[in-house]
Structure 1
């Protein structure tokens, strides 16, 4: 039996290498990961790896793990094969942080309580309504040709009507349909910003866990926050010259802190950025997810000079799988970005755009939002109660007025990686604070939007036990 399991590991790794899935120079999974995958003890894994090393396929390097050094084609020939692993590091787009990559991979698997996931629970997925819409859209289906460069015109009209309710008045020509806010940031980075530009943003920020701006050669500069949001006077203090700086901000139900920028500070922010000639990227993907009261008017709703590029999306409010978002801005900017988008993917899915149009124009979206807000309020209250029961004396937090997140500060200094691994061993997936800012090592971004009520309660109780064991 042991011999069979050992051979399975050998064959698995050999197949990965000979098919080119694991390239030369690539680090293979750890002994612990392989032991878990094949449900064997580590001695069986070590035996298999030693045989593969003897065959010249693997090599262990001190401090680097076990790497692929050869493949069977090399053993048959003389010429050196292409080392794709070297090319991986040569590409201009930077890799995600290791912890971010780990979280992204684990999130796709079942079996973990996801207390960090930025997504609505399957329990809030509007299956019945979506089936009705899909039936209507496919019943009237015509050939799915490419849409206009800016996106489906009727959808852009519907977004205009939707934005009017938020105090934003615009026209279809000032809107570009994108595949979510992340693609919007990518297009802005490569289409509007010069290499070496400075990106001001809140610290901590969601964007610190991405590589989109760094890969385009931008310098990220975090500005401090307090409980009311970004400290606006820090913009002028850090400004080093006009024409080479942009502000990226999530003023409403901020990711990861959940903070909402107040009314007066929004006015001050716009005034300072107009004075310093700093354009603003306003990410408002959480803006519709208010729980207690509607938030202050969006920055774009106060924009008099076209200084604000506004990002919206259905990913957080409806479902991320639809892949529909939008950019609102000056027509010349939208024309430039739409040309880049056509070069990138020739437009977002025609079917998704038609489904989004039906959601926005039928009235179903507003009724769905009402349901989601009610559910988020219940979930937030469950999470806050559990925190009060199980983390009292261990941590502090503020109660968010909307969005998905509670920014939890642990009183005692800890190592985020250690906490992440201990929680994972208990079946809990967390988003540690240091992926949003290096100095946020005592924080956790806790999400109440995805896990069930029972999972929220149990996960937070286990988190309390883990924190006490680490003291």
Structure 2
């Protein structure tokens, strides 16, 4: 499965320009270690936590997300687990589901594994083409849309204000749900971020997912799955069957870190470092590969969606790049149907400036 290729380890001397997590120098290792030490000493830390999650942690997520109460927040083992639970709970095998094209590879893989009929909805530099939603929902009968409205993976796009309004209108007209995959919110680079869709949901059409994994460390597998009304109980039942609960010490450590002074300091570090790395990648591509073109300049996240010259084969470019010592992601698997052109997803969060510069040099030798 192509999704598994992205988490396979390349040779040790390979420069990573593909990856979904921060590299270790950006991770708040010292502060997290202290949080885990304190959490492990908490009374009852090693007992079985509530199925829904630690109450104080749920309250923190509710405040951060907006528009939900703590008893509408379910703590999960990261964002991908939450996404799988949401998709499987809201659909049955054989049913249609709307997914961005290009869109998040894990969402595509989960939908395929669950036996769903994927209906691709195009994405441009302003995010999901919401002007196409009415037709897609009416034509297919789909009642679930998966959307990454903020710093989408792989495109880096953010859904515009006008399209957010169109999305809400379409969902209400068709009594449909949108699964808001908001795992990149901690990765803001350029200024304040728009509010969550969940915080503006007036009709109960949004299922919200967020995670600490992308913005802190891959070892911090703590996420939240939020919903209003009876659907929350369905999500809770599905989650309980999957893994019962998230480990108590992990939840306690997460809460300790999030409520410490280390957390806002870490967010400032992310913004500074990701900004420098993004700008370096864009500058090096312009200098060494002027025949490539970023689809947009992301204001956050860690990915640059880059169009290759016409006629290029992204899979072949990816294979040649790996042989030259740089890991990139072909754009092909990020499309649930036929690609609209040759692209690479280039990541700037998993390598430092020196390696990004050398990685682009190696990539330029094979494009």
The residue aligned with 1:280 is: 178
Kept in 1: contact 2:143–2:174 (CA 8 A): no
Please point out which of 399, 404, 414 is paired with 2:302: 404
* Structure 2 unmatched runs, 5+: none
Equivalent position SS for 2:183: coil
Compared CA separation, residues 155 and 331, structure 1 to 2 (3 A): farther
Provide the residue aligned with 1:291 in structure 2.
189
Contact preservation (8 Å) 1:288, 1:369: yes
Which residue of 1 is the match for residue 349 of structure 2? 449
The answer as to 2:132 corresponding to 1:234 is yes
- CA distances 1:417-438 after superposition (whole Å, capped 9, x unpaired): 2212111111111111001014
Q: 1:340 to 1:414 in 2, by over 3 A?
A: same
1:140-155 correspondence to structure 2 within 5 Å: 140-142=42-44, 144-155=46-57
Deviation at 1:244, TM superposition (A): 4.1
Structure 1 residues 79-90: aligned runs within 5 Å: none
* Bigger Rg, which one: 1
CA distance in 1, matches of 2:357, 2:69: 46
Unaligned 5+ segments in structure 1 are 1-95
In structure 1, the residue matched to 2:25 is 123
Where in structure 2 are the equivalents of 1:31-46 lying within 5 Å?
Answer: none
Corresponding residue for residue 104 of structure 1: 7
TM-score, normalised relative to structure 2: 0.94
Distance 1:424-1:440 versus aligned 2 partners, 3 A rule: farther
- Classify 1:102/1:201 alpha carbon distance in 2 versus 1 (closer, same or farther; 3 Å): closer
Q: Secondary structure at the match of 1:224?
A: strand
Aligned Cα RMSD in Å? 1.9
Answer yes or no: is the 8 Å Cα contact 1:280–1:308 preserved in 2.
yes
Question: Per-residue deviation at 1:365?
Answer: 1.9
Q: Which residue, out of 153, 163, 171, partners 1:265?
A: 163
Is the CA contact (8 Å cut-off) linking 1:242 and 1:278 kept in structure 2? no
Cα separation, partners in 2 of 1:378 and 1:372, compared to 1, 3 Å: same
Larger RCO (CA within 8 A; separation ≥ 6): 2
- Give, in whole Å, the separation in 1 of the partners of 2:315 and 2:286: 24
Q: Of 275, 278, 282, which residue of structure 2 is paired with 1:377?
A: 275
Write out aligned runs for 1:199-348 (5 A): 199-207=97-105, 210-240=108-138, 244-348=142-246
Q: How many positions carry a matched residue from both structures?
A: 365
In structure 2, what is the Cα distance between the partners aligned to 1:425 and 1:207? 24
User: Deviation of residue 135 (structure 1)?
Assistant: 2.2
Tell me the distance in 2 between the aligned counterparts of 1:304 and 1:210.
28
Q: Distance in 1 between matches of 2:229 and 2:107?
A: 30
Deviates more, 1:117-126 or 1:432-441: 432-441
Q: CA deviation at 1:140?
A: 2.6
Asked if the contact 2:36/2:249 (under 8 Å) is kept, the reply is no
Show CA shifts across 1:214-249 (max 9, x none): 222211111112221111121112223697421100
| C-alpha displacement of 1:449 | 0.4
1:194-233 C-alpha deviation (Å, 9 max, x unpaired):
2222211211001367421122221111111222111112
- Identify the residue that residue 194 of structure 1 maps to in structure 2: 92
